[in-house]
Amino acid sequence: MPRRILFLSILLLAAATRPAVGDEQPAAQPAPGEAVDPAGVEFFEKQIRPVLAEHCFGCHSVRAIKIRGGLLLDSRQGVVKGGEGGAVVVAGKPEQSRLIEAIRWTDPDFQMPPKKKLSPEQIEKFEQWIKQGAPDPRDAQPVKESDAATKPVIAEAAAKVLWVMKPVVQPEVPAGVTDSANPIDAFVAAEYRSKGLTPVDRAIKPALLRRVYLDLIGIPPSPAEQEAFLNDTSPDAYETVVDHLLAGEQHGVRYARHWLDVLRYADADERMIAAQGIYLWRDWIINSLNDDVPYDQFVRAQLTGYRSTERTQMSATGYRSKA
Ligand code: HEC
């Protein structure tokens, strides 16, 4: 599937799985003693709630950007409480209910919803609803989405367990647990010790060399490179190899694979037709990694490089323009 369509479908899926405004509350069970009769519940759910959600919540719900007239219509409590002018619903008496007055548009200064009058059928349903005593099964208090998302639940609980949420500290390096000069090894060794584990012996030189080659460039060392390392008895022989590998072009090739895999790089499209010039983008990724391009610039260039007048920057968007 072309990636743009895939991206779109993900967006659409996300939108579809998001509850629509007003749908977020399952029909709340009435509190004991406040049982709403099933016919009333059905009437409310079918005739009233959808209209409130579509035509009123934009200005009269906790999720409204600005709550108008001090009136909340997204909970029973809100309806009962009314707005700045007091009660809006008098159960059983539509003629005395300001909500009905508002939706009938009889007073030119008090017309709800302000932009477009509800249909005569909808208005009639509201009148019937109030005549029935305004049955409203909604019990739970609606929660403003932004409140729900930023509740300390996440921040506080997560801060205790997630290292990313913890403040940066300079930990004390455990002493006497390893002969390695690298402090990271000391932490690992201390943790091993606390669990009663014994670290394996140090890797022999050929094994160490092979590992670091595979890690950094994805290719094992040649016999000549092995020999050179075995013959280098200086204390920083290992560091020399690491520096050499990090500086080489092959390191970018190796690490570009991760990025290219994520963006599903291929030399041909889904019909197996050669994606012309796509190698330019691939090479741009490799070169950027080798040039230590900061991550933000790296991403930005791939999204907006087509605005650039520099040829190399334009290559950054190669894959996107193919998508
Ligand atoms: C675009 C925003 C908007 C929409 C949508 C809207 N209202 Fe209002 N509503 C207001 C404003 C602003 C006020 C306060 C000013 C006023 O009374 O005219 C208000 C006030 C009210 C009041 C009086 C509250 C009080 O105590 O003074 C009632 C009742 C009301 N609206 C009912 C409704 C109903 C029912 C709907 C949906 C069918 C609705 N409104 C849709 C903006 C809106």
DSSP summary character for residue 110: -
**Which stretches of the chain score pLDDT less than 70?**
1-35, 144-160, 306, 310-312, 319-323
Q: Report the alpha-carbon distance of residue 220 to residue 222 in Å, rounded.
A: 7
- Ligand 1 in contact with 83 (CB < 6 A)? yes
Can you tell me whether residue 268 is helix, strand or coil?
strand
- Ligand 1 in contact with 125 (CB < 6 A)? no
| Position 245, amino acid | L
pLDDT at site 320: 60
- Ligand 1 in contact with 64 (CB < 6 A)? no
pLDDT at site 262: 87
Q: Are 69 and 84 in contact (CB under 8 A)?
A: yes
Q: How far is the CA of 60 from the centre of ligand 1 (A)?
A: 7
**Closest atom of ligand 1 to CA, residue 109:** 18
- Ligand 1 in contact with 186 (CB < 6 A)? no
DSSP 40-103: HHHHIIIIIHHHHHHHTTTTSSTTSSS--TT---SSHHHHHH-BTTB-S--TT-GGG-HHHHHH
pLDDT at site 11: 35
- Ligand 1 in contact with 110 (CB < 6 A)? yes
- Ligand 1 in contact with 245 (CB < 6 A)? no
**Closest atom of ligand 1 to CA, residue 84:** 26
Shortest-distance Cα residue to atom 21 of ligand 1: 69
Shortest-distance Cα residue to atom 11 of ligand 1: 68
Shortest-distance Cα residue to atom 14 of ligand 1: 69
- Ligand 1 in contact with 107 (CB < 6 A)? no
- Ligand 1 in contact with 133 (CB < 6 A)? no
Mutation choice for ligand 1 from 112, 116, 129, CB with most ligand atoms inside 8 A = 112
- Ligand 1 in contact with 277 (CB < 6 A)? no
Spatial CB neighbours of 277, under 8 Å, sequence gap ≥ 6: 318
Q: Are 52 and 93 in contact (CB under 8 A)?
A: no
pLDDT at site 270: 75
- Phi then psi for residue 268, to 5 deg, are -130, 160
Can you tell me whether residue 32 is helix, strand or coil?
coil
Q: Report the alpha-carbon distance of residue 173 to residue 190 in Å, rounded.
A: 9
User: Which token pair is 322?
Assistant: 């193919």
- Ligand 1 in contact with 102 (CB < 6 A)? yes
Nearest C-alpha neighbor of 43 from the set 133, 135, 114, 118:
135
pLDDT at site 266: 84
Rg (CA), the chain: 33
**Closest atom of ligand 1 to CA, residue 115:** 1
Q: Are 221 and 229 in contact (CB under 8 A)?
A: yes
Shortest-distance Cα residue to atom 12 of ligand 1: 68
pLDDT at site 134: 94
pLDDT at site 265: 86
Give the Å distances, CA to CA, from 242 to 213, 215, 216.
8, 10, 8
Q: Report the alpha-carbon distance of residue 41 to residue 135 in Å, rounded.
A: 6
Q: Report the alpha-carbon distance of residue 267 to residue 270 in Å, rounded.
A: 10
The phi-psi region of residue 264 (left if phi > 0; otherwise alpha if psi is between -120 and 50; otherwise beta) is: left
pLDDT at site 167: 81
pLDDT at site 127: 96
Can you tell me whether residue 284 is helix, strand or coil?
helix
